[in-house]
Structure 1
């Protein structure tokens, strides 16, 4: 079964799970409708995002769309277990503004992964998803997580329950090890192959090329630092306040982009797609305007001289 076509721009649905701040159902559906209207047909979610809220909202929206016209990926490795004692507080420890009425339990076993997928399908209201990623195996214990988890997701693919399988992480060691197995279709590289930093060039992308693994580039704005033409001191990096040296580098890159008449977010969106291994960029949005803006930016022309200048000035790697 071939891997599904993804499209250059995908919608990351962490925001639909109330990442950082509450979002109403109406706002969530407006974001999704804007993405659909812009031609986005790949939607990425996870149980982790808002303790299932992201999956539920995405499922409600997709119920009105023809199943053959979109691609959905979700993730496995964290089971959601009821935690009534947490209902009176928010899941702020994980940066989601939702009641902490469930807790996440790591489980990369074959049974745990199947249960996770079944639970996700229930929340999504779907009979099947197209892609399943092992989610953040390095945060559990990398070697046993891959040793158990990779064969488990491959079995799902071999049984025809999903069309493609992979690993999603911001850890290059985990991503390279996953690609090196030669068993996976995709890796989702979160924040490690962006205009700001490219550690994935060392081992992840070479392993993906060697083993014919496709790359999905996520967090291409590095948690928001590259999302505006002029990086703000209040911008996030790695979900926290940007360190001064990282902010300074982002501003240097923005200044070079401006010399060529290109805004920083436009360059940030297009940069990963210059590598032939990258099949899609996954970008979140908090409003329909952001979705439309990202779609427009991806269509803009970026002069090749910009990439050359950034490389010559040591701001991106060769």
Structure 2
């Protein structure tokens, strides 16, 4: 029997002064990203889902300028208009992106990206903005005088942006950005899941620095929610046999305890005291309530012990 949907408490997001629920709705699928998720999302369905997110049990929604060429933000903007604006206490985060056609990640591009987000979302200020996927340039380029990070700081000084974060993959690169002291929030993705523990040291460092941590892709791109019968990819790439065998064992252990694999994958992230919020990408309105139920599903302590022994060896992590 699944538990009812219940309100979730809010926690401080690092030093930002923002309080967020332990689940954050991910806006990637809202704009339709079939190359990543394997299915299309119509404009109306994306808008309806965004509206459900804005009025549901979670107060945190994450998107990016580059998701589906801006369609994720456009649909969220339409949903904001539909529900009468951003609800009190709601946190809407977006990300500045490099130019999708040229790869340009200059200061000018950062400003264009942020200004485009304001237009698409239909708001006059961005609460929280991440430097998105800086692994596509060198750290030195990112931090250079007159570069993208300096431009983000200018936008913050101008009041266009409230708080700055960094969101990306490679854990050592993310740690280097955190050590600059510029960023208040971190997004790591696909690197702290039931299967992959690459981000362990990064989470420790973020906590020591007082940085709020948001953990993305707790389902590893879907396989830790759908199971191996429906997906053979981890982090949007074909998974190796070692990874698949470990996840199959996790599926069997969860089934033995009457627990959905997705509930264990989500709560693995939620139960970590170093993680403030966990991003779950959603593309249907009904998934909001389903995610809340997964977040509240009762999981016996003995299952956590079993699952811990099934984590993928470090040699197969994303890093």
Q: Which TM-score applies when normalising by structure 1?
A: 0.84
Whether 2:297 is the aligned partner of 1:277: answer: no
Kindly indicate whether structure 1 or structure 2 has the higher relative contact order, using CA contacts under 8 Å at least 6 residues apart: 2
1:39 aligns with 2:38: no
Separation in 2, partners of 1:194, 1:17: 25
Moved over 6 A (4+): none
Q: Residues 121 and 36 from structure 1, CA distance in 2 versus in 1: closer, same or farther, beyond 3 angstroms?
A: closer
Query: Quick check: 1:215 aligned with 2:213?
Result: yes
- Within 2, Cα distance between the matches of 1:220 and 1:253? 14
Could you tell me how far apart the structure 1 residues matched to 2:231 and 2:102 are? Answer: 30
Q: Does 1:315 align with 2:311?
A: yes
Unaligned segments of structure 2, at least 5 residues: 1-14, 314-319
Q: CA deviation at 1:151?
A: 3.5
The residue that corresponds to 1:17 in the other structure is 31
- Of 93, 118, 123 in structure 2, the residue corresponding to residue 73 of structure 1 is 93
CA-atom RMSD, angstroms? 2.2
- Give me the whole-angstrom Cα distance separating, in 1, the residues matched to 2:106 and 2:197: 28
Between the aligned partners of 1:126 and 1:38, the Cα distance in structure 2 is: 20
Query: What residue in structure 2 maps to residue 128 of structure 1?
Result: 125
Could you tell me how far 1:293 is from its partner in structure 2?
Answer: 1.3
Q: Provide the residue aligned with 1:4 in structure 2.
A: 18
1:224-256 per-position Cα deviation (integer Å, ceiling 9, x unaligned): 11112x422534322233333322221112222
Distance in 2 (alpha carbons) for counterparts of 1:62 and 1:164: 21
> C-alpha distance in 1, partners of 2:139/2:266?
29
Distance change in 2, residues 1:141/1:308 (3 Å):
same
In the other structure, the counterpart of 1:94 is none
Q: d(CA) in 1 for partners of 2:224 and 2:210?
A: 30
Alignment of 1:42-121 (within 5 A): 42-63=60-81, 64-67=83-86, 68-79=88-99, 103=101, 105-109=103-107, 111-121=108-118
Question: 1:308: how far off?
Answer: 2.1
**What residue is the counterpart of 1:141 in the other structure?**
138
In structure 1, distance between residues paired with 2:129 and 2:291: 25
Name the counterpart of 1:289. 286
- Mean alpha-carbon deviation: is it higher for 30-39 or for 45-54? 30-39
2:271 & 2:140 partners in 1: Cα distance? 31
- Structure 1 gap ranges (5+): 81-102
Q: Distance in 2 between matches of 1:261 and 1:65?
A: 41
* 2-structure distance, mates of 1:205, 1:2: 17
TM-score computed with the length of structure 2 as normaliser: 0.83
Asked whether 1:231 is paired with 2:228, we answer yes
Q: What whole-Å deviation, never above 9, does each CA across 1:205-242 have from its counterpart, x for those lacking one? A: 122022111110111111111112x4225343222333
The count of aligned residue pairs is 291
Alignment map for 1:158-307 (pairs within 5 Å): 158-202=157-201, 204-228=202-226, 230-232=227-229, 234-307=231-304
